[in-house]
Amino acid sequence: MADKVAIIIGAGPAGLTAAWELLDRTDVRPIVLEATGEIGGIARTVVHKGNRMDIGGHR
């Protein structure tokens, strides 16, 4: 039987949750592709002029 693989585009909250659910509930192996060097999508903490700021999951 062939291995099952799912390609997930984007390592934001939705992509990471999809990968986690596949790992937890199925025998499908997720591969997460991310265009940038960071995970989390637009939900992240940034440093600006020495201050840490949380950027939420909205624009």
**What are 1-58's pLDDT values in tens digits?**
569 999 999 999 999 999 999 999 999 999 999 999 989 888 888 899 999 999 876 6
Q: Is the pTM of this model over 0.85?
A: no
**What are the strands, taking DSSP E only, across 1-59?**
5-9, 29-33, 44-48, 51-55
pLDDT recorded at residue 58: 65
Whole-angstrom distance, CA of residue 41 vs CA of residue 28: 23
Q: What is the pLDDT of residue 41?
A: 87
CB burial readout 27-49, b (16+ within 10 A) else e:
eeebebebeeeeebbeeeeeeee
pLDDT of residue 43: 86
Domain-by-domain residue ranges, the chain? Answer: 5-55
